[in-house]
Structure 1
Amino acid sequence: MTGSDFAQSVAPRRVGLMGGSFDPVHQAHVNLAALALAQLHLDEVRWIPVGHPWQKSRQLASAADRLAMVEAATAHEPRFVVDPIEVNRSGPSYTLDTVRALQGSAEPDPGHWFLIIGQDQYANFHTWHGWQELLQRVTLAVAGRAGEPPRPGDALAAQPHDVVMLPLPPMPVSSTDIRARLARGEYPASLAPALVPEPVARYIANHQLYAPSHR
């Protein structure tokens, strides 16, 4: 084994964590994960649909449906891994618990862990459960807006932390808007490829998710 081969063999894995309700997963999620994969030279992006979101009061689509949609959206990229760790865990889904579990199972390789989040999540990061410890475990990878650097809230700004910016082009798409459009019957899910990946659109249509009768 050459010196370069040995260095490569012991290099810590670079793992991106992409959490969320994914209700439904949409094109901006996929684009952000792909950007992180390329820009941060990740070995994988681990998609983690939330189980019991402690900061959301509305009823989500079933865990089975949300997992299936994420699997459909990510099947084209072998470095995208869908992990049901939060869906399978009882109690509130705290990101800190998830990171502790994943890092513990990865020992003895400590790895380099990136938490992929949006600007809104970055601004409100100080409200997350155990956020100070979380900062010690991960590098925050924040989707910037229109080329602007990510802006932390005052509490986070006062706390030393590692952060990188992911320059994601603006995309006028959100899960809230998709659900609202479908609930109004504005268009069939199969005709929304600009908003959601085609396999996800087919899944939504086939299972009649977010239709008026499912509100």
Structure 2
Amino acid sequence: MALSGAAPRRIGIFGGSFDPVHHAHLALARVARDHLGLDRLLWVPVGMAWHKARVLAPAEHRVAMAKLAVEGERGFEVSTCEVERSGPSYTIETVRELQAREPGPAQWLLVIGQDQYAGFDRWHGWTELLQRVTLAVAGRAGVEPAPGAVLAGHPHAIEQLPLPAMSISSTEVRSRVARGEPVDALVPGSVARYIAQHRLYSNL
């Protein structure tokens, strides 16, 4: 039972295509959990990515790989709310849904990168998002996150995250798989085995 007057739980939201999840995703998630003092970090694989031109791997595979990657990690959970929802995946709808499910007081933090922060005013429902979450922005060490001109004019809560020095990308992983090259150094071993077992990304 929670003690009266206890501080609200701190819950992070970490969304992405995770196509596939890789070590840089895990590194950033760990930084977010530890630097922000999160009680939980919800990994949210995107459902229908309205901003992506390419076709993503089926949601069932991306969810499965995310679950394999976070297994055994303190406070990490995978939410399937976006893949279960029809239509484009808008973060504001995800935040509303997750907050409605969560009993009791909580502080919500949305983990994003500098590029996303700079273009945040183009997000669907962004002004409501600013009222619901604190933005946790991953940027280069020693460099202050810079909002776009429109966002700069709107008061909002922000916490800065030091970006882990890892240059891995999902594009690189997919390309290596397509060329028949190993990806064990780029993704968790369980994810590498899953990719091989299900022959993902081999026909790019």
**TM-score when scaled to structure 2?**
0.94
Q: How many angstroms does 1:5 deviate by?
A: 4.9
Q: How many angstroms does 1:75 deviate by?
A: 0.3
Distance in 2, matches of 1:117 and 1:76, equals 23
Of 173, 181, 188, the match for 2:182: 188
Deviations, residues 15-68 of structure 1 (Å, cap 9, x unaligned):
000001001111111111111111111110001000001111210001010001
1:144 partner amino acid = G
**Does residue 96 in structure 1 map to residue 87 in structure 2?**
no
Distance in 2, matches of 1:78 and 1:172, equals 24
Segments of structure 1 that go 5 or more residues without pairing to the other structure are: none
Of 29, 32, 35, the match for 2:28: 32
Moved beyond 6 Å, runs of 4+: none
**Secondary structure in structure 1 of the residue aligned to 2:124:** coil
Q: Which residue does 1:7 correspond to in 2?
A: 5
Of 125, 137, 144, the match for 2:139: 144
Q: Which residue does 1:206 correspond to in 2?
A: 197
Of 51, 63, 81, the match for 2:47: 51
Q: Whose helix fraction is larger, Structure 1's or Structure 2's?
A: 1
Whether the aligned pair in 1 keeps the contact of 2:176 and 2:182 (CA below 8 Å) is: no
Alignment of 1:58-77 (within 5 A): 58-77=54-73
2:151 partner amino acid = L
Count matched residues: 204
Q: Which residue does 1:105 correspond to in 2?
A: 101
- Identity among equivalent positions (%) equals 57
1:188 partner amino acid = P
Alignment of 1:107-146 (within 5 A): 107=103, 109-146=104-141
Whether the aligned pair in 2 keeps the contact of 1:15 and 1:45 (CA below 8 Å) is: yes
**Secondary structure in structure 1 of the residue aligned to 2:5:** helix
C-alpha root-mean-square deviation of aligned residues, in Å?
A: 1.7
Deviates more, 1:199-208 or 1:21-30: 199-208
Distance in 1, matches of 2:3 and 2:126, equals 37
Whether the aligned pair in 2 keeps the contact of 1:146 and 1:170 (CA below 8 Å) is: no
Deviations, residues 117-137 of structure 1 (Å, cap 9, x unaligned):
111111111111011110110
**Secondary structure in structure 2 of the residue aligned to 1:46:** strand
Q: 1:160 to 1:74 in 2, by over 3 A?
A: same
Q: Which residue does 1:162 correspond to in 2?
A: 157
Q: Which residue does 1:173 correspond to in 2?
A: 168
Q: How many angstroms does 1:149 deviate by?
A: 1.3
Distance in 2, matches of 1:127 and 1:169, equals 26
Segments of structure 2 that go 5 or more residues without pairing to the other structure are: none
